[in-house]
């Protein structure tokens, strides 16, 4: 009887091992949103890692975490490193590819609480003038342990909500920045029109007539 039980257990364990081993070794989590702002405005919020603190879903998890920046201010080679509590761990992001208005690829390295390297990609397009479509993708490889954990919660379930939250904040920030720039442009145009009108009024006056005019009493 005991041998039969052990045999059944061994078969079940072997079955689970085979099931885990045959699961996909890579994952892709993707979310997309539409933002009422020009592509160049949205692109800038992602391409400049200093701006991530305004919309990243992980920035508020540990307000006391330390952050450092290396390399150029934005674009390829820009680096953002962080270290915080158990919620955010420790890691770094490096922009590996930056195609203005089209694509940003980031190498995402986790150091703590576990080590892994993933790729985060943002894809940009403009479905209509003044609006943007943004897709946020996260891809990576899974070892045996990660495959086992995925039996109970897959990567889409773990990361999907964070990507949605981040895109929602990116939408707010980008649309607010777009409105600010539009308002600034209106102010500049109004000032230019006022200056042009003042110059035109001054040009209508005859300088000789002004010289011959009697002095004011």
Domain locations in the chain? 24-181
Average pLDDT over residues 167-193: 91
**Would you say residue 13 has pLDDT above 50?**
no
**Contacts of 136 by beta carbon, 8 Å cutoff, 6+ apart:** 30, 31, 32, 120, 121, 122, 163, 166, 167
Q: Classify 99 as helix, strand or coil.
A: strand
User: Which of 54-63, 132-141, 206-215 bottoms out in mean pLDDT, i.e. has the lowest?
Assistant: 206-215
pLDDT tens digit sequence for 26-55: 567 899 999 999 999 999 999 999 999 999
Higher pLDDT, 9 or 97: 97
What is the predicted pLDDT for the residue at 50? Answer: 94
Q: Classify 131 as helix, strand or coil.
A: coil
What is the predicted pLDDT for the residue at 159? Answer: 82
Reply yes or no: is the peptide bond before residue 113 cis, omega within 30 of 0.
Answer: yes
Average pLDDT over residues 208-217: 49
**Contacts of 64 by beta carbon, 8 Å cutoff, 6+ apart:** 84, 85
What is the predicted pLDDT for the residue at 152? Answer: 46
Average pLDDT over residues 114-131: 89
CB 121 within 8 Å of CB 107: no
CB 65 within 8 Å of CB 83: yes
User: Which of 13-27, 57-71, 79-93, 182-196 bottoms out in mean pLDDT, i.e. has the lowest?
Assistant: 13-27
Chain mean pLDDT for the chain:
80
Q: Return the percentage of the chain with pLDDT > 90, whole number.
A: 43
pLDDT tens digit sequence for 182-193: 888 888 888 888
Confidence of residue 215 (pLDDT cuts 50, 70, 90): low
**Would you say residue 68 has pLDDT above 60?**
yes
Q: Which CATH number fits domain 24-181: 3.40.50.2020, 3.90.220.20, 3.30.930.10, 3.30.530.20?
A: 3.30.530.20
**Would you say residue 195 has pLDDT above 90?**
no
């Amino acid at each position: 009887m005991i041998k039969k039980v052990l045999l059944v257990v061994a078969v079940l364990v072997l079955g689970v091992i085979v099931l885990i081993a045959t699961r996909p070794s890579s994952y892709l989590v993707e979310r997309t949103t539409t933002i009422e702002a020009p592509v160049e405005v949205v692109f800038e919020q992602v391409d400049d890692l200093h701006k991530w603190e305004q919309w990243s879903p992980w920035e508020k998890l540990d307000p006391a975490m330390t952050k450092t920046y290396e390399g150029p201010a934005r674009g390829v080679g820009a680096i953002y490193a962080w270290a915080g509590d158990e919620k955010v761990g420790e890691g770094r992001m490096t922009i590996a590819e930056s195609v203005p208005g089209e694509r940003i690829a980031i190498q995402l390295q986790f150091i703590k609480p576990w080590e892994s390297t993933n790729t985060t990609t943002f894809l940009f397009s403009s479905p209509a003038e003044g609006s943007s479509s943004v897709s946020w993708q996260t891809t990576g490889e899974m070892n045996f342990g990660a495959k086992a954990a995925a039996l109970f919660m897959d990567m889409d379930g773990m990361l999907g909500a964070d990507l949605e939250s981040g895109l929602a904040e990116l939408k707010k920030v980008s649309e607010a920045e777009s409105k600010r720039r539009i308002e600034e442009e209106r102010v500049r145009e109004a000032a230019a029109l006022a200056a042009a009108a003042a110059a035109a009024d001054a040009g209508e006056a005859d300088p000789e007539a002004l010289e011959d005019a009697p002095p004011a009493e």
